[in-house]
Structure 1
Amino acid sequence: MYEILLILLGYLYGSIPFALVIGKVFYNTDVRESGSGNLGGTNAGRVLGKKAGISVIVLDALKAVIIFYLSSYLSLKFNLNPDIKYLAGLACIFGHCYPIFAEFRGGKAVSTSLGYFLCIEPLYAVVAIVVFLLVLKISKYVSLSSISTALIVLCITPFLAVSITAKLCMLVAVILLVYRHKDNIKRIKNQTESKIQWM
């Protein structure tokens, strides 16, 4: 019962649309009506500015971090299944993608997934970040960098000293992240995807 509640909590906390909240509270702007319409840090930065974009990225990443460590602590305190932290963290990612508080129209889970991967294996997550920055530097595509990073995580996952549950959760997170970028993949093929200008 406690495990189910933690998974539900993960989904609900992941559902908080920080891009929407920051846009409406501080800028009187609904980011869903501009740019890509996505509730993520990239679109928030594009519509609201760099400061807002960075704030959204950090808050979205912290979603998974908070849920992961809260679940880890409670699993020890109440003698729950130690793998609950992986399931609750994954639920948080799904909440970000399909938020109940924003008509199930969320972000693409890049920042939230990164926070999740950092909790599971910080060293390999740092490697993934380096890959992201390198691909971004070369291609100027945030979407391609995100997909490349997800695939690197996928390649690394089998070698991690974590439970099979953790590996399966990471696999699902990667599949979800790539799936959420399906329209970006089409635009990259058609050479109509937007490129960043600041790197």
Structure 2
Amino acid sequence: MYTALCIILGYVLGSIPFALVIGKVFYKTDVRQHGSGNLGGSNTGRVLGSKAGAAVILLDILKVVLAMWIASHVSAAAAIWTGLACCVGHCFPLFAHFRGGKAVATAFGFLVGISAFVFRDPWFFFAPLVMFLIMLWLYKFVSVASIAAILCSSLLITVLCWDMNAQSIMIITASWLMSILVIWRHWANIQRVREGSETAVTWL
């Protein structure tokens, strides 16, 4: 009962489109009509500037952390499933006609929540972060680095939680569903990487 309520709360919090709110309130601009059209920090930064982009990224991270913190008072499994629901809400927001972001910032919020509230071990955040930075340095694609980081997290959780009780199975399942969500949302980017048309990071 409480877990289900937390999951619903996670989806609702995830559905808050901070990119849309900041764009319309402070810049009188709908970021969905510019750039890639995504309601995420990257597109906001391209359309409205680095300060707006940074604000959206921070708020998108924090909404997942808040949702997982609330759910952690129920159970570790509730926390991770609530984090997943929050990321789904970000990608398919109730308040923005189900057109959201690609779950990059929210995935990092998910990793922070796992580290702080599920396992209480900083390595569950820092190991994927190191993977992200290495892949970004090697390949210069945020999409590739994001996928590598979330897969690293799922593998780490699977290896360290493999005792096959009910809660462990729920945690492992949620972590792999999170990986599938990130890969799915970046499928077009993967195709562009294969075609050589994906935009690379130029400041590394």
TM-score (normalizing by structure 2): 0.88
Question: In structure 2, what is the equivalent of residue 9 of structure 1?
Answer: 9
Q: Distance in 2 between matches of 1:198 and 1:30?
A: 27
Question: In structure 2, what is the equivalent of residue 187 of structure 1?
Answer: 192
Q: Distance in 2 between matches of 1:23 and 1:98?
A: 18
Question: In structure 2, what is the equivalent of residue 78 of structure 1?
Answer: none
Dislocated runs of 4+, deviation >3 Å? none
Alignment of 1:66-145 (within 5 A): 66-73=66-73, 75=74, 83-121=77-115, 122-145=122-145
Identity score, percent: 48
One-letter identity of the residue aligned with 1:177: V
Question: In structure 2, what is the equivalent of residue 196 of structure 1?
Answer: 201
Residues 184 and 193 in structure 1, CA contact (< 8 A), matched pair in contact too: yes
Shift of the alpha carbon at 1:157? Answer: 2.1
Q: Distance in 2 between matches of 1:198 and 1:55?
A: 20
5+ residue gaps, structure 1: 76-80
Shift of the alpha carbon at 1:197? Answer: 2.9
Instruction: Give the RMSD, CA atoms, in angstroms.
Output: 1.6
One-letter identity of the residue aligned with 2:68: F
Q: Distance in 2 between matches of 1:70 and 1:124?
A: 19
Distance 1:160 1:184, change over 3 A: same
Q: Distance in 1 between matches of 2:34 and 2:90?
A: 19
Distance 1:143 1:104, change over 3 A: same
Question: In structure 2, what is the equivalent of residue 21 of structure 1?
Answer: 21
Shift of the alpha carbon at 1:82? Answer: 5.0
Of 164, 171, 177 in structure 1, the residue corresponding to residue 182 of structure 2 is 177
